[in-house]
Amino acid sequence: MPPRARTWLSPAAWVAAVAALLLLIFPVGFPNYDTIYALLWGRELGEGLDPDRGAALPPTPHPLAELFGLLTSPLNSGAIDLTMVVAYVSLGLVGYLVYRLGSLWFDRPIGAVAALIVLTRAPFLSNGLRAYVDLPYIALVLGALVIETRRPRAGWPVLALLIPAGLLRPEAWLFSIADLAYLLFSGGRERATGVPLEPADTQKRGLIRPRFVGARGTPVALLALALAAPILWAIYDSTTAGSPTYSFTGTRETVETLGRHTGPIDLVLYGPRALGEVMQWPGMIGALGGVILGFLFLRRRSEIGIAAGVLALGAFAVLACAGLAIIARYTMLTGTILAIFVALALLGWRLLDRGHPWRRAWQAFAAFVALMFVVWAPNQYDLLSQVDTDLTNQGRIESDLGDLADSGAFEPLCLPISVPNHRAVPRLAFDLDVRPSHIVSSSEQHQPRRGYFLKPASPFVVHNFILDPNDPSRFTATVPPGFRRVARNDSWLLYRRC
């Protein structure tokens, strides 16, 4: 097999195998509220319409996700299937890239353990199998980090990969600015040395040897790449919503409505807890020890990972202080980087010389962290079981909602359609091909006197269909007078008064 083909096929096989294994273990997945809206808004763009953001509690727009919705709109319901393919592949890709970074920074066993840690953390699986944009975003950022590791001061390839990342999550804007500053204000002496290019040695004597070359790209081109994502996002908001800051202001309003933690005080109080949800206790202790040990004894190997972790935490902190939510999902990028240092804590002692005075102490710490993982294993099993249970239950309710829409029960289609809370709005709008603002959340908006009324069929649906613990709706709406039942299934009752 040609070397170039092997270079691509090996990672592709790795990703495909992980995605297939995840599909076997967790066969139920579905696009979450935000992602269904992205598909819906993308379809509206394809029809020449502005995205309808007039329904109750619309999510934050993500330009790249809505572009995906536009491109997949000809597939109709197949767009959901393709979205789930991307979701499983993104999880596999994140796992591979964590392995790759661990291998480049340290060695392959450390990379493999780090990937295993990431792919067994409940938040990655829960959010990934709900097709949140965070997993493709994390994959893009980790891909940029792989390029920078292999070719320090890579320049435009890194910044180019951060553009699509920055059209999914605004944290990537800060990474682009940080990389631009690094390219422009460091390394002048390296450029002057004229040392010829040679492959970076990541496995010899604990060092990553940087290539002493200048950044690829002119300063103007690099600046344009670094600013491309925020400018494109502002243009998109201005064009589709009439305000270049719509995503930011709309998200802050949603955070206030849902009563989520935000701001600098909450960052101190709840930020560590959010990261702890991702890492759990063994991961937090292992990561702290791995960072310290790596910094002290494998500094050249560890410095790029530590810098990336500091940047990821800094970006999370900046957005939290700016009024965005402090939730575990936004710490997952930091979690992927810290997972490598957890693996370093477990196996990094192997990289020290046999006579190193700290080798035995590191082995003792590794044994302690390993013991913590063993003790925590039953809790971790329960967390993963809960992920599977929640996906199965919520997936069944989502499927019943789609089946009801496809059954013809909404014919004739007399609007508006009342639903118990905003969670059902985008899925019904997508399946029925109606504008989201034609669907009313009866527990958050005024209940219309005519149209359709959708009601949960059991307490099971009420318990499993709440979008957020702080959701203002509580399924308290009753069937309005004059509405008669026209259809039902295991999860939903449909009433009509036209």
Dump pLDDT digits (tens) for 439-463.
Answer: 998 877 778 889 999 999 998 988 8
- For residue range 393-428, what is the model confidence (pLDDT) as tens digits? 999 999 999 999 999 999 888 899 999 888 899 999
User: What is the pLDDT at residue 442?
Assistant: 82
For residues 113-117, give the mean pLDDT.
97
- Comparing 140 with 256, which gets the higher pLDDT? 140
- For residue range 290-339, what is the model confidence (pLDDT) as tens digits? 999 999 999 999 999 999 999 999 999 999 999 999 999 999 999 999 99
Mean pLDDT for the chain? 89
Does the pLDDT value for residue 191 go beyond 60? Answer: no
For residue 117, give the H/E element and its range: helix 108-119
Place of tokens 């310290």: 292
Range of lowest pLDDT (15-19, 67-71, 190-194): 190-194
For residues 350-376, give the mean pLDDT.
96
Q: Which long-range contacts (CB under 8 A, 24 or more apart) does 48-52 make?
A: 50/240, 50/241, 51/240, 51/241, 52/435, 52/436, 52/437
Does the pLDDT value for residue 342 go beyond 60? Answer: yes
Q: Sorting pLDDT into bands at 50, 70 and 90, what band is 182?
A: very high
CA-wise closest residue to 342 among 372, 321, 314, 312: 372
In this prediction the pTM is 0.91
User: What is the pLDDT at residue 465?
Assistant: 81
Q: Strand, coil or helix: what is 484?
A: strand
d(CA 76, CA 401): 16
For residues 263-278, give the mean pLDDT.
96
User: What is the pLDDT at residue 466?
Assistant: 62
Q: Quote the DSSP letter at residue 108.
A: H
Does the pLDDT value for residue 199 go beyond 70? Answer: no
Range of lowest pLDDT (38-42, 54-58, 84-88, 401-405): 54-58
Q: Quote the DSSP letter at residue 152.
A: T
- For residue range 148-177, what is the model confidence (pLDDT) as tens digits? 999 999 899 999 999 999 999 999 999 999
For residues 274-283, give the mean pLDDT.
96
For residues 345-353, give the mean pLDDT.
96
How open is the CA angle 383-294-90, to the nearest 5 degrees? Answer: 40
